[in-house]
Structure 1
């Protein structure tokens, strides 16, 4: 099945600003953002003809549809928001079926689901519940103005920028910890140098007491080094936590749970909050992004099976940018997930600048719209029409953009500091490597 690709929300808003249309246009724009999540072979009960039709059941981020195998016709297509109830049912003639009850008492039967009924039911129910939870009842009836939509977009961009800045901050703390470890290694190498010097000197033969007193003299240094090891406070701080449908090795056994992204790694819990597995940050070998809503995490082993988990979540688009910062060199976007590549930017600062300029230009056009030259009738109509953005929306957008600009500047300065720290780490590693090689040669001469 061909699933439409995701379109940037900001570009959609700009198009609506230029070409306002009826409510049908809004529905088309929502469908353009509808991303295919999963497809299962199954049969659908066609009630008017009282027969079963084979085809494919497709779940997207906003809808559920069934397409026949014979003609490719879409027999059923309805939004997830119109679903009232999802159940697992059976009768004398229908076995292992899923029933979907729509508003208006329309009931749909799906059977012969592969790989199993429980797998399909768990995934559909997860996305349906998350969609209901993400739509407040108070805002469902009231139409959203363009100012509110733009404010929501900017608030989402601000949240993503805050998450990125928080990850950068913890990444800087980790670099500081690496520098402290290298400093301790350098001091240990100095102790080793003194010991080798004692061994190489001719006075070592009667086993002078200097050799045995040297380690005791270094105890205060080791005692001091214990304190920095406790400094990485917040190492276990949670960056993001999302509900997910989890499968281990096989896709036929799915269970609800949650994915927790920590500074030090990843944790996968079941629905009872029991830890299923913990991936340390350095133990993760690859993270494959199958779609904006599905990823797989793997840790390779030699001589025994790899540890691999596959996770599907409606909140996965919020976690993928954080995973990209944490595991940038281990992330792999597969074909269905290449839609995410268009939303990436080279740095948080550049991303925020692009949002800043786009939103500022949109606000300028909304508040100071200029008609074409010579169009007096358009000028009169424009003066009579209400402004696209209210004063309250303008003030709120201005505050959000100011905060985003401050966050972008802080992220830029933090990135520059980390670049300098990386240069220091590289130089310290080179010095330590040369010193270790020199010590190895000296020890070989002693043996």
Structure 2
């Protein structure tokens, strides 16, 4: 991943110890570091690695003004006049610091970390493979539930056939010589054992759960929480695990990927405000491939996310290009070193062994995707069969109810 990508930035002031004064500028967070750039001169006054930070605190300068301090290698950096407010900046910085984004890569910005790109992309794809395997397990369990429902429906149809035969005997008993309309039976039919219905509260598997920074409508409300990805939708909870909102899969209207670390989820309404959440997380790259698979027609990759994922540099590139497709194109470029100079510079950082490993992971992902597609098609057919069987059972029950009312 690019070390120059800016995850977020905030206007603020930085206390420059050498001149004993506050300098207005912009505080920026990248995947590996925190930077401060002065507004007037454009000079980079502070640049330190996340891995080197030992403490982030809320403090007050001159006992009055609220500030944020970052302790790095024994030096304390003071930031004040933070916008939109100190709490928002603190929550985001502390989240990425505690998650230790890109751990163990101190000083990895130079050419010495030649194969870091390949290692990082390999780790991302391995995470995607694990998520897809977990999804396949959930789909398999869901398929077993469908099979159980089908067996129950077949048993119901068998019971309906038996009931139909008994009703026919009651309507026209062999010993009654007159019309069936004149005959009334005082004898009540023995209650039959109802087939066991499938448990409506089947434990739903969790595909992924990650800590996030939640923004609801305004930046001033950014707070820590959790994002849970389920087969049936998404759940957003606060830091106390209290449910803030649940998006059913059918209710999600669009998901926008602003950067590999930030997404927004929206549900539209007519006549009242939309429900929208913006989620920022250090582990969001693990969730995006899963969301892309689950909401393939509703997810949109914005320009910053495409460039970060290594997608095509053409401005007309499809904004829905997946991270897996971007990885495939990246490997294809590795096999053809005659590409543009920009790609050649990037390919230095992926060794042949890493490219081979990435190809193997992509092949596994492709196999899992094909198996998942086949299972989904089988389940679609099962759902159609369940629907038609349920309709037939409903019509049969209504017809038999009318026949029983005539007998009473």
User: TM-score by structure 2 length?
Assistant: 0.66
Q: Is the 1:284–1:297 Cα contact (8 Å) retained in structure 2? A: no
CA distance in 1, matches of 2:218, 2:147: 42
Aligned-pair CA distance for 1:164: 1.7
In the alignment, what sits opposite 1:379?
none
1: distance between equivalents of 2:34 and 2:74? 17
Alignment pair present for 1:38 and 2:8? yes
Unaligned runs of 5+ in 2: 172-178, 312-319, 338-348
Provide structure 1 residue ranges, at least 5 long, that are not aligned to the other structure: 1-8, 10-28, 366-387
The 3 A distance-change label for structure 1 pair 138 and 412 is same
Contact 2:259–2:302 (8 Å) recurs in 1? yes
Q: 1:156 to 1:175 in 2, by over 3 A?
A: same
Question: Does the Cα contact within 8 Å between 1:58 and 1:66 map onto a contact in 2?
Answer: yes
- 1:120 Cα deviation from its structure 2 partner: 1.0
- Say yes or no: does 1:80 pair with 2:49: yes
The equivalent of 2:340 in structure 1 is none
Equivalent-residue separation in structure 1 for 2:357 and 2:309 (angstroms): 29
Q: Does the C-alpha gap of structure 1 residues 185 and 324 become closer, same or farther in structure 2, counting only changes over 3 Å?
A: farther
* 1:320 pairs with one of 282, 288, 301: 288
Are 2:101 and 1:128 equivalent residues in the alignment? no
Cα pair 1:193 1:439 within 8 Å, conserved: no
Task: Give the equivalent residue in structure 2 for 1:113.
Answer: 82
Q: Higher relative contact order by CA 8 Å / sep ≥ 6: 1 or 2?
A: 2
Contact 1:40–1:114 under 8 Å retained in 2: yes
Asked if 1:260 corresponds to 2:233, the answer is no
Q: Take 1:165 and 1:339, find their aligned partners in 2: how far apart are those partners?
A: 27
Q: What CA distance in whole angstroms lies between the structure 1 residues aligned with 2:182 and 2:371? A: 57
Instruction: State the Cα distance separating 1:444 from its structure 2 match.
Output: 11
**TM superposition shift of 1:316:** 0.9
Provide the rounded CA distance (Å) in 1 between the counterparts of 2:105 and 2:38. Answer: 35
Q: Is the 8 A contact 2:14 2:78 kept in 1?
A: yes
User: Partners of 1:300 and 1:182 in 2: how far apart?
Assistant: 35
1:240–1:261 CA contact under 8 A, matched in 2: yes
Q: Within the alignment, does 1:246 sit opposite 2:214 as a pair?
A: yes
Is 1:91 matched with 2:67?
no
Give the aligned partner of residue 292 of structure 1: 260
State the Cα distance separating 1:203 from its structure 2 match.
4.7
Aligned residues: 376
Q: Deviations over 1:49-75 (max 9, x none)?
A: 655454443333333344556x58355
CA contact (8 A) 1:155 1:400 kept: no
Q: CA RMSD in A?
A: 5.2
Which structure features the higher share of helix residues? Answer: 1
Partner of 2:133: 165
Q: Secondary structure at the match of 1:30?
A: coil
Could you tell me whether the CA contact under 8 Å between 1:165 and 1:411 is conserved in 2? no
Decide whether the 8 Å contact of 1:267 with 1:275 is kept in 2. no
1:13 is matched with: none
Aligned counterpart for 1:413 among listed residues 353, 357, 371:
371
Tell me how far 1:263 sits from its aligned partner: 4.0
Q: State which of 372, 380, 393 in structure 2 corresponds to 1:422.
A: 380
| Equivalent-residue separation in structure 1 for 2:34 and 2:238 (angstroms) | 26
Preserved CA contact (<8 Å) 1:86 1:98: yes
Instruction: Tell me how far apart the structure 2 counterparts of residues 83 and 104 of structure 1 sit (CA, whole Å).
Output: 9
Aligned residues of 1:55 and 1:67 also touching (Cα < 8 A): yes
Whether the 8 Å CA contact 1:169–1:414 is kept in 2: the answer is no
Q: 1:10-409 residue pairs with structure 2 within 5 A?
A: 30-31=3-4, 34=5, 36-45=6-15, 52-67=22-37, 71=40, 73-81=42-50, 82-92=52-62, 95-103=65-73, 105=75, 107-131=76-100, 134-136=102-104, 146=114, 150-151=118-119, 153-178=121-146, 180-181=148-149, 184=152, 188=156, 203=180, 208=185, 212-213=189-190, 216=192, 219=194, 222-223=195-196, 225-226=197-198, 229=199, 235-247=203-215, 251-271=219-239, 274-277=241-244, 279=246, 281-282=248-249, 285-286=252-253, 288-289=255-256, 290-297=258-265, 309-333=277-301, 337=305, 339=307, 361=335, 394=353, 402=360, 405-406=363-364, 408-409=366-367
Aligned partners of 1:347, 1:61: CA distance in 2, in Å? 18
The whole-number CA distance in structure 1 between the counterparts of 2:106 and 2:53 is 19
Structure 1: distance between partners of 2:109 and 2:374: 47
Query: Once the two structures are superposed, what CA deviation does each residue of 1:364-418 show, in whole Å capped at 9, x if it has no partner?
Result: x9xxxxxxxxxxxxxxxxxxxxxx999xx94x87677556535533442342243
Match of 1:384 in 2: none
* Residues 118 and 422 (structure 1), Cα distance of their counterparts in 2 relative to 1, 3 Å cut: same
